[in-house]
Structure 1
Amino acid sequence: MRNEVKVGLLSLATILILVFGYKYLKGSNIMDRTNTYYIRFRDVGQMDASAPVLIRGLSIGSVTKIQLDPDSADWVLVTIAVKREIRLPQNARAILVSQGLMGGKALILDYPAVCLENCLPNRSFIPGEIAGMLSSMVSKEEVQEYAKSVGSQLNKILDTAATNENVQLAATVKNVHLILANLAASTARINQLLEHSAGGLDQTVQNLETVTNALARNSQALSNSIKSLEDISTGIAAAKPGKMIQSADQALVESQQALRQLTQTLADSKQTIVQLNEVVGDIRSGKGSLGKLINDPALYNNLNRSSRNLELLLQDLRLNPKRYVHISVFGKDGTPYEVPPEDPADR
């Protein structure tokens, strides 16, 4: 046989073993012939898709799929696979129970009698119910049996005590009767409270389980955090906190001194600003030379005209120097000055 054929057969066998093992771990056997049924619940309480399906403690199938009901957002649709030899009657019901305080969920199929004819066909719907936490762990028959046994024993004791002629004992028996009556009323009240709060208790237990699992998953991170805190504490101890506090006190004293100097500087600046405001007020009111210079328009106009005349004089001196300077080498009089046609001084 060629090596390629051997490798192919080995791979096929490995795949088949993996598929069979996966189905087996999920509680189903691919060799079993099963029927499929559907159940609706308001809340499945974090039930796994591989939860067992039981009849009187015997596993006869498993949950294969859990999804929101496509026809209604208020329901969860659970799909189960039951061995084909199990014939369910029309009045069968599926009860969702808890397998202990920290256990998972399971489905119990309950029906009064074995179905001989007109049984539920494949892919039928089964009515679903949710059992409380206490009723999941202890059945009603067991509770009734224990209560009946305890009651009979108490009746024997009380009848024996009642035949005694002792008045005090008779009064004690009467008080015991009253206590038992009150206890019965309290028990009934507690049962009502437990029935109403069963869902909340289940959710609390599930939350505790979730927290425990989260702590287990993050135990390494918690250990690292604790070690980091220890390292920080060691570093603080090695850093001599007394010297650090002394340095901080010194820095605080220096900061206070700088703050006092800054306060004095601000006070001096405020006084300077007040004096500057007084000077500006005097200038605006026309006091002093600068105030008269700024507020006297006649002085401004005179300065403006003087500046203009000085500009014309300098321009005329540059253009007509002969008007102001006469140079005679041989002692002759200069020619008379002629005013140029573009003389700005004649304008």
Structure 2
Amino acid sequence: MSKELKIGAILLVVIILFVWGFNFLKGHDLLDGKAREFQVEYTKIGGLNRASTVTLNGLKVGQVKGIEFNTTEEKRGQLIVTFAVENDFQFSKSSVVKIYSPNPLSPSNLAIIPNYEGEMAVSGDMLQGEMEESLFTSIGERLDPLQTKIEKVIVSADTLFSGLNKVLNENTIKGINSSVSNLSATIYELRQTIKTVNSMVVDNQDNLKITLENTKNITGNLNKLADSLTTVNFNSIVQKAENAVDNFNELSKKINSTDGSIGRLINDDELYKNVEAATKELEQLLRDLKINPKRYVHFSLFGKKPQEYEPTAPDSLLFIKD
């Protein structure tokens, strides 16, 4: 063999060993012809990438070969993940392939959850996919509604502060400051008043003691008076009051009856009319006596015979009974 042929052969062997070693380090043995390929469809893959590990019951059985978009009209935008399984372990087509993350810092992997009922899966089958929420994804999903609420609260607070800024203009702030100043002055005056009252109490402490002693004496005297009043015969007083009420009732009955003079005077209408007529005649007599006194009284120092009376007015004749 020539020198150039030897160099070419060695270079080819090195390239083949490099490719095989690279794939072997990635977990795929090119010399193993038992590898089976399956596909799974996801709406999101959560950090899954090519060469991610595929496990079955915790054992590594393969790796992800490729990730591409679905180009059909119905499922446009969804992702189709192709992975190879180098183990000949059998599971059915109803098995689930779940995306999970071993820890928050590592990329996502695939885990086959085997199901042994129904038709067994063969290379090229489309399996059912699920995604296990990671810690950060779960926290993010829980924080999203909270974030929305916080944003609404911030907007409401911003509106509230805007309203307060409109209300608390320069004039309002001046008024509030003036009110606070007046309140401080009022509190100061109240303190001064309390100090004055305290000084008055201290100065008149002796007088207050005397007043309290006098009040105590008055209370004692009232107690003695109450004790003395308890000894009064209230029964006799009540009996006398009842007798007085009975006598008044008896007097009222006699007045309302026509037996006595007072009862007749009050209840007899004829007597009332006679008394009224006599009163009118007496009033007419007094009026005529005032107008014509010479008709009833004559006085002379020398014994002169009285002249015959002549009425002075035609209305002097007053004794006309109605």
Per the shorter chain, which TM-score range? Answer: 0.3 to 0.5
TM-score norm. by structure 1 comes to 0.38
Please identify which structure carries the higher helix content: 1
